[in-house]
Chain A
Amino acid sequence: MIEIKNLQASIGEKQILKGLNLTVKPGEVHAIMGPNGSGKSTLASVLAGREDYEVTGGEVMFNGKNLLELAPEERSREGLFLAFQYPVEIPGVSNMNFLKAAVGEMRKHRGLDPLSAKDFLALVKERSALVELDGQLAHRAVNEGFSGGEKKRNEVFQMAMLEPKLAILDETDSGLDIDALRIVAQGVNAMRSPERSFLVITHYQRLLDYIVPDVVHVLYKGQIVKTGPKELALELEEKGYDWIKETVA
């Protein structure tokens, strides 16, 4: 699915990713944990193609394509989805029209006919139900006036609409109460399939009670410093990130 080799990236003068290696196979769920500021969002942003970051070394192959050469929209159409840690509010642009455009681009890229208005609405209904998103929200402006939880559910809803091959969830659990967390996880789990992979970025272990990962990585100071089975998340929760800091130091 995705193979990241020795990835190095910086912003301005500051190097943030310092030689990161990671391979995710189809159908796998990988969790990336790590203390604040370790570079988790940077990794997600670099993979999605945010231009603020400069890639200074390494390579990323995504289903046989050189990911780093693609524009953000091409990455998306190739099947990479990033659920933003901070979803952007876009006043005046309706969620629905935006999604119609996004789904249209994705289908065109995959050689599929455009969905009829009826089929599109049916899909919206089905996929918004996965995250128990109020139907009314779909008709409002993108994320405008949404609560924190609604924004995160909207991200997962969009993910479900776009049916990506690899979904990167950047702290989709942050700021959620336990009910909202369960709903978000339920949406993600509904989309799990042998062809679809997930990179679940989280600071806390509790999300991983609901989205059970195959592999857990610890990102620290721009590198993966530890990789293990799902039990590693529990160990981290128990011992705290200082344990990692000590181990690495």
Chain B
Amino acid sequence: METTLVSTFHKWLTSNAHAPKLGGALAEEASSILAHRDFPNTRMEEWKYTRTQKLAQGDWKLTSGEINSDPEFELHQETAGTLGQTYFAQVNAALCSGSWGITIPQNEQIDEPFQWVIKTHGDQAWVQPRIVVRANANSQSKFVFHFEGKDHSFCNGVIQIEVADNARVEVDIIQDNADAHFQILEVNVEQGKNSHCNVVTHTLDGAWVRNNLHMTLNGEGSHAGLAGFYLPHAQQFVDNHTVVDHRVPHCTSNELYKGVMYDHSKAVFNGKVFVRRDAQKTEAYQSNKNIMMSDHAVIDTKPELEIYADDVRCSHGSTTGQFDEEALFYLRARGLSAEGAKQLLVSAYVKEVIDRSQNETVVNYVKKALSQRGRIIADEI
């Protein structure tokens, strides 16, 4: 068992020996580390509730996928970014199928969002995109990463964002995948002084999703925003692991994840907030809320707060509740169908998260997609 898990990376490496990849020093370093790392499994704390067998069994064939950026950017190998900590970030470094680097110049304020549509299509297709953003001091920019996975395929993406002093970055991640697609996404944000970064993850659909969002506040006066929603149905699985690392004083973070669990779906939320010893005057809020639309759905939620400073304001909490039957009856008693009333209530529920996006185009897209799938009523929110 152990050996099969260790050899998973070798299997993937060997069967993709001739695939085009970026290579370079980063790839070599990643490969040599991975030779000694176990494939993630439920005996590991970070993967306790997340089954990886089906992913490990996949005979994935590396391809560059179809990645459209708007406006278009050049491939920059020198902007390959850093190795990262997690197993899959390193797999991405070792076998990267395409890397984009973009730098927002100092003092530049760009209203039009930069947009990537990352498509992974075709059975066995395996896409490992890597996007490295550097927002220089005092700049303002918006980014959209729109993932579209089809068929029985696998996308293992890495996004690294550096937000320099006084810079503002807004990020929207859309995960709109098919029912046999696997997605792993690692998003790493490093923030400087008085910077602001807000990341909203819209998980619309997909068989299996694991997100690692790691935001580090390295400069005083900075703010990190994290928000996300998931509405899995059928047998879908969505896992959000987040880390907010307050390393310096006078920073704030605000995190809100909401789930609506249908059918036999399963979701995991694990949110860690670290407040380091020096990080006095930190304000950190974290909340994960879930409503269960079915008796068969499962949620494993674990908010964690580790505080080593004494003068801080922090709160965290998670709630998991049944659907509000009183509200449902009230709406039905006024003539709304049971289905329509549920959609209305779910609309109100996820609105709070969708509204955290600062990108109107994304908000409209997400609302439309969810209402077309009968989850919400677009006009209501």
Considering only CB atoms and an 8 Å cut-off, how many residues of chain B contact the other chain?
26
Given contacts A48-B333, A72-B332, A77-B335, 18 further A-B contacts (CB under 8 A): A49-B333, A72-B329, A73-B335, A73-B337, A75-B333, A87-B330, A90-B330, A92-B349, A92-B351, A93-B344, A93-B345, A98-B336, A98-B344, A101-B335, A102-B331, A105-B337, A106-B335, A162-B335
- Give chain A residues whose Cβ lies under 8 Å from the Cβ of B379: 97
Q: A94 to B326, Cβ gap below 8 A?
A: no
Separation of A77 and B381 alpha carbons in the complex (Å): 25
22 pairs, A vs B, C-beta closer than 8 Å: A71-B338, A72-B329, A72-B332, A72-B333, A73-B332, A73-B333, A76-B334, A77-B335, A84-B330, A87-B330, A88-B327, A88-B329, A90-B348, A92-B381, A93-B380, A98-B344, A101-B344, A102-B334, A102-B335, A105-B335, A105-B340, A158-B334
The number of chain A residues touching the other chain, given as a range, is 20 to 34
Q: Which residues of B contact A192 (CB under 8 A)?
A: none
The 7 residue pairs across chains A and B that have the minimum distance between CB atoms: A92-B348, A76-B335, A105-B335, A72-B332, A88-B330, A102-B334, A93-B348
Do residues A76 and B344 form an inter-chain contact, with CB atoms below 8 A?
no
Whether the Cβ atoms of A73 and B336 lie closer than 8 Å is yes
Q: Is there a chain B Cβ closer than 8 Å to A50's Cβ?
A: yes
When distances are taken between beta carbons in the complex, the residues of chain A under 8 Å from B329 are 50-51, 72, 88
Residues on A lying within 8 angstroms of B by beta carbon are 48-51, 71-73, 75-77, 82, 84, 87-88, 90-94, 97-98, 101-102, 105-106, 109, 141-142, 158, 162
Interface contact tally, CB-CB below 8 A: 78
| Chain B residue at minimum C-beta to C-beta distance from A77 | B335
Within 8 A of A (CB), among B311-366: 324, 326-327, 329-338, 340-341, 344-345, 347-349, 351-352
Q: A51 — nearest CB in chain B belongs to which residue?
A: B329
Distance of B259 from chain A, by nearest CB (Å): 16
Q: Please name all residues of chain B whose beta carbon is closer than 8 Å to the beta carbon of A105 when the two chains form the complex.
A: 335-337, 340
Q: Nearest residue in B to A100 (C-beta to C-beta)?
A: B379
With most chain A CB atoms within 10 A of its CB, the pick from B330, B340, B348 is B330
The listed residue (B333, B344, B348) touching A91 by CB distance below 8 A is B348
The answer to whether A82 touches B333 (Cβ under 8 A) is: yes
Q: How far is the CA of A72 from the CA of B325 in the complex (A)?
A: 13
Q: How far is the CA of A88 from the CA of B348 in the complex (A)?
A: 15
CA distance A109 to B335 in the complex (A): 10
- Bound-state CA distance A16–B344 (Å) is 33
Q: For A106, list chain B residues within 8 Å (CB).
A: 335
Complex Cα–Cα for A51 and B341 (A): 16
A101 to chain B: closest residue by CB: B336
Chain A proximity of B338: nearest CB distance (Å): 7
The dominant DSSP class at the B interface is helix
Query: B341: which A residues are within 8 A, CB to CB?
Result: 73
Residues of A within 8 A of B324 (CB): 90
Is there contact, CB below 8 Å, between B336 and A102?
yes
Q: For residue A91, which residues in chain B have a CB less than 8 angstroms away from its CB?
A: 348
A45 to B46, CA, bound (A): 49
Q: Give the distance in Å from the alpha carbon of A75 to the alpha carbon of B338 in the complex.
A: 13
> Do the beta carbons of A90 and B380 come within 8 Å of each other?
no
Closest-CB distance, A38 to chain B (whole angstroms): 22
Return chain B residues, CB-CB under 8 Å to A84: 330, 333
For B350, the closest partner residue in chain A by CB is A92
Chain B residues closer than 8 Å to A49, beta-carbon distance: 332-333
CB of B345 within 8 A of CB of A76, answer: no
Q: Which residue of B lies closest to A48 (CB)?
A: B333
Q: How far is the CB of A171 from chain B (nearest CB, A)?
A: 16
State how many angstroms separate the Cβ of B377 from the closest Cβ of chain A. 8
Given contacts A92-B349, A106-B335, A162-B335, contact A101 B330 (CB under 8 A): no
Bound together, the chains give a CA A105 to CA B340 distance in angstroms of: 10
> In the assembled complex, which residues on chain B have CB atoms less than 8 Å from the CB atom of A92?
347-349, 351-352, 381
Q: How far is the CA of A158 from the CA of B330 in the complex (A)?
A: 12
Q: How many Å lie between the Cα of A141 and that of B330 in the bound state?
A: 14
Which A residues are CB-close (under 8 A) to B334? 76, 98, 102, 158, 162
A90 to B348, CA, bound (A): 9
Find out whether the CB atom of B345 lies under 8 angstroms from the CB atom of A90.
Answer: yes
A97 and B347 CA atoms in complex are apart in Å by 12
What are the interface flags for B285-328 relative to A under an 8 Å C-beta threshold, 1 for contact and 0 otherwise?
Answer: 00000000000000000000000000000000000000010110
How far is A51 from B332 in the complex, measured between Cα atoms in Å? 12
A51 / chain B contacts, CB cutoff of 8 Å: 329
Cα–Cα, bound, A90→B379 (Å): 17
Which residue from chain B places its CB closest to the CB of A107 in the assembled complex? B335
Q: How far is the CB of A7 from chain B (nearest CB, A)?
A: 18
Q: Distance (Å) between the CB of B370 and the closest chain A CB?
A: 15
List of A residues within 8 angstroms of B336 by Cβ: 73, 98, 101-102, 105
Docked Cα-Cα span, A51 to B338, in Å, equals 13
A102 to B351 Cα, complex, angstroms: 21
Contact A88 B335 (CB under 8 A): no
> Which residues of the other chain, A, contact B344 by a CB distance below 8 angstroms?
93, 97-98, 101
The reply to whether B327 and A94 form a contact with Cβ atoms under 8 Å apart is no
